[in-house]
Structure 1
């Protein structure tokens, strides 16, 4: 038996429960990973709330989509060289909050020397979303970027990548001067409060938040500006937000959404490998808010619900 965390009841964090489940065994094309680190993502919180029940998520679901650790067993057809390797893994839409996790052999990436399991789950998904979010916005060096909701793991990576790629300026929205100072140290050049008040003239907005205030950010774009929503931690925008966008017709602005699920797997693998190597060299900084034992997943989700996490919470089974 192994320890796992499941959603016993949709709603608040107390609906999570720690339990013993049978040790899994990898099927053909899969690997078994002894988990050392598990990333706690905003998507886990949304699934736990029950907001995605209509998409097939049910009570009894084990959340978590990214883990890191050592490959301990192989299914048929998997290259024997993976056995004993330290890897990051995407476990799909769940199954990560567990001491031993299953992943497809096509969804694992070897960790370079010098990169910890904890840092890899802090960077693994968020760095890819940040990379492709900027690409989806057709960001070019010299352009001004606003990152809305910059204190989460996706926002932090977007700030760093925009700065590394030669952004003319990188503005951020966040909840406190203290967070703003930390974001400046990572590459931000302008700090705004959550409303974005006082900020305008951005070529690109990468939005991790969405929610009711999303339409107000259209006014902060330049003519031909582009907004890409890569997350919705504040929920869906109002139904009439398209009317607001069309009211700015003369500015020729663009609006898009981006999900990593639409990026080709081979391209994701290449980007993730490159980012892991950059982090091992110290060129990218994974930001860990806190390490908590797997058994304290409820506490991790309470902290996520409070909205004061800077970076990523990581669960450690061992």
Structure 2
């Protein structure tokens, strides 16, 4: 099979297009013939050596997310799933066979039925961003641990950085759950994307006073903040998180340390949570996969310009360029067309 592989960590240039044997599924696993691979920030960080677990053996195929068709099953897996369209998550987490290849093998629970209507591009965009967003929206003491229509009725969600992949996922999932969603952005172009994703209100933090604008929507504060840049936004979040509200941090853009006003948070009985989907509790992953899948089947999740998530598609041989695009902050979702 054609696959992207790297034998040492480093820049995008360590990624090579090679021929590898097609992997066989082991017990409890399925082999998926991939159509698209999704690229996330954690993919280039693992490849660069910035995070642990970059190599699961003498070579590594990158990328966690993808979509395709189940071609073979291992011992103990129902043969009826053969031929089913699926989306794949965490393919490369502590495993050799990521999704930047014509085939991958994953535990059967990590190949989720996609159905006939959703596109493979959508399937490859789900995984890490949507599971992360789900965790952020369900962590607070006053929040439900499941999402679905009506789950967040009466709640206000603030998404800091509403034009990013996780921000877009948080907007779409929160709107599906009937929350009021406020998104912050840094430009008119990104404001259009956040609104297309479903944000009820959009604030350009370079042009507007975020605290004043959000307080117009939520005078008592918001129920949850989905936070991409805690070091930059901590002071704003402290002023906006409401009674029993939560700040869910899933990235550290802009700095690695956060200073918090203690009394403000104590008075609100507020919480700060830190989110890394790979190491979150197992039950949280199970619930997230089920809820994201339900949102897809409900038609509540979309990709593309009209969903606020422009797609940037690269052929397999140009996976290094796809990684570079994510590393440089491409707005939208970067995919690799494994068939091209």
Normalised to the residue count of structure 1, the TM-score between the two structures is: 0.86
Which whole-Å CA distance do the structure 1 matches of 2:75 and 2:3 have between them? 25
Q: Which runs of 5+ in 2 are unaligned?
A: 144-151, 216-220, 304-308
Classify 1:298/1:209 alpha carbon distance in 2 versus 1 (closer, same or farther; 3 Å): farther
Q: How much does 1:106 deviate?
A: 2.3
Classify 1:292/1:29 alpha carbon distance in 2 versus 1 (closer, same or farther; 3 Å): same
Partner of 1:162: 174
294, 299, 304: which is aligned to 2:321? 299
Bigger Cα displacement from structure 2, 198-207 vs 37-46: 198-207
Partner of 2:274: 257
Partner of 1:317: 338
Native 8 Å contact 2:65 2:87 kept in 1:
yes
Which whole-Å CA distance do the structure 2 matches of 1:6 and 1:28 have between them? 24
Indicate the RMSD between aligned Cα atoms, in angstroms: 2.5
Classify 1:235/1:49 alpha carbon distance in 2 versus 1 (closer, same or farther; 3 Å): farther
Which whole-Å CA distance do the structure 1 matches of 2:43 and 2:275 have between them? 18
220, 234, 246: which is aligned to 1:226? 246
Native 8 Å contact 2:31 2:105 kept in 1:
yes
Partner of 2:136: 133
Q: How much does 1:266 deviate?
A: 3.7
Partner of 1:244: 260
Classify 1:232/1:195 alpha carbon distance in 2 versus 1 (closer, same or farther; 3 Å): farther
Count of paired positions: 305
Classify 1:192/1:50 alpha carbon distance in 2 versus 1 (closer, same or farther; 3 Å): farther
Partner of 2:33: 34
Bigger Cα displacement from structure 2, 215-224 vs 21-30: 215-224
Q: How much does 1:44 deviate?
A: 0.6
Partner of 1:272: 292
Which whole-Å CA distance do the structure 2 matches of 1:130 and 1:72 have between them? 30
Q: Which runs of 5+ in 1 are unaligned?
A: none
Native 8 Å contact 2:30 2:105 kept in 1:
yes
Bigger Cα displacement from structure 2, 175-184 vs 5-14: 5-14
Classify 1:256/1:289 alpha carbon distance in 2 versus 1 (closer, same or farther; 3 Å): same
Partner of 1:199: 210
Which whole-Å CA distance do the structure 2 matches of 1:12 and 1:172 have between them? 33
Native 8 Å contact 2:225 2:241 kept in 1:
no
Q: How much does 1:197 deviate?
A: 5.8
Q: How much does 1:206 deviate?
A: 0.5
Partner of 2:111: 108
Partner of 2:146: none
1:172-211 equivalence runs, <5 A: 172-193=183-204, 198-200=209-211, 201=215, 202-203=221-222, 204-210=224-230
